Chains A and B, each alone.
Chain A
Amino acid sequence: DGGITQSPKYLFRKEGQNVTLSCEQNLNHDAMYWYRQDPGQGLRLIYYSQIVNDFQKGDIAEGYSVSREKKESFPLTVTSAQKNPTAFYLCASSSGWDGVSPLHFGNGTRLTVT
């Protein structure tokens, strides 16, 4: 079955540590995205990539970094510079990036930083 796999489902880290969230897709989609969801807020875009070896900052990129070395993979690193890292993180992909191609989401990673 094609889809997006995010791992781990739950992640706990101490403040000051960097942490990397995994996102793998086998949908053969060019475009991939990272969103953050906080209670009472809509999904907010952290980073996106339209093609391998290229990525762009979204609305809330500060304190995050990404790489796109392979089409299937788009890992997100939450750095110690991110002031409020505890959140639910969603990875998504789409067959096009034209605004009408629906996003396919993974099941998310809940990160808790104490």
Chain B
Amino acid sequence: DQQVKQNSPSLSVQEGRISILNCDYTNSMFDYFLWYKKYPAEGPTFLISISSIKDKNEDGRFTVFLNKSAKHLSLHIVPSQPGDSAVYFCAASALGFGNEKLTFGTGTRLTIIP
């Protein structure tokens, strides 16, 4: 049972435009969310996170939005750059539980078209 879902396996966006990556979750215990970025043949790197006490967190070109009632989060990248081409994983955890309970989505491959 996939508790964290990224329903779009791939996404192509023109350079300079906005990229929006979506993630849905089913477990209402989840209250902390992270996005990781992964280049081919490399390990994922942490990008941005958000706690359920917020509905938005921004870091430069990256903004994560959380809609708790819809159990949905999204990562916005503005403007998109060629170096953003990668696979993006969302992950969810419940505060009070350790990283061993971190649940990952299946990833979305983002391709930025020059």
A binding-site residues for B, Cβ under 8 Å: 4, 6, 9, 31, 33, 40-45, 48, 50, 56, 58, 90, 92, 94, 97-108, 110
Chain B positions 21-60 with a Cβ under 8 Å from a chain A Cβ? 32, 34, 36, 41-46, 49, 51
Chain A residue nearest to B2 (CB atoms) is A42
Chain B residue nearest to A106 (CB atoms) is B43
Interface stretch, picked from B12-20, B63-71, B72-80, B102-110, is B102-110
Chain A residue nearest to B51 (CB atoms) is A100
**Which range holds the interface residue count of chain B?**
20 to 34
A99-B32 in contact (CB<8A): yes
List, sorted by A's number, 25 A–B pairs whose CB atoms are closer than 8 Å.
Answer: A4-B43, A9-B41, A31-B98, A33-B100, A40-B9, A41-B106, A42-B2, A42-B89, A45-B102, A50-B98, A56-B100, A97-B100, A98-B95, A98-B99, A99-B95, A99-B99, A99-B102, A100-B93, A101-B99, A102-B46, A103-B36, A103-B46, A107-B41, A107-B43, A108-B43
A98-B49 in contact (CB<8A): no
A97-B98 in contact (CB<8A): yes
B101-A99 in contact (CB<8A): yes
A99-B46 in contact (CB<8A): no
B binding-site residues for A, Cβ under 8 Å: 2, 4, 9, 32, 34, 36, 41-46, 49, 51, 89, 93-107
Residues from chain A with a CB closer than 8 A to the CB of B51 are: 100
Selected from B9, B42, B46, the residue in CB contact (under 8 A) with A108 is B42
B101-A107 in contact (CB<8A): no
Residues from chain A with a CB closer than 8 A to the CB of B104 are: 42-44
Q: How far is the CA of A44 from the CA of B91 in the complex (A)?
A: 11
Residues from chain A with a CB closer than 8 A to the CB of B101 are: 99
Residues from chain B with a CB closer than 8 A to the CB of A110 are: 41
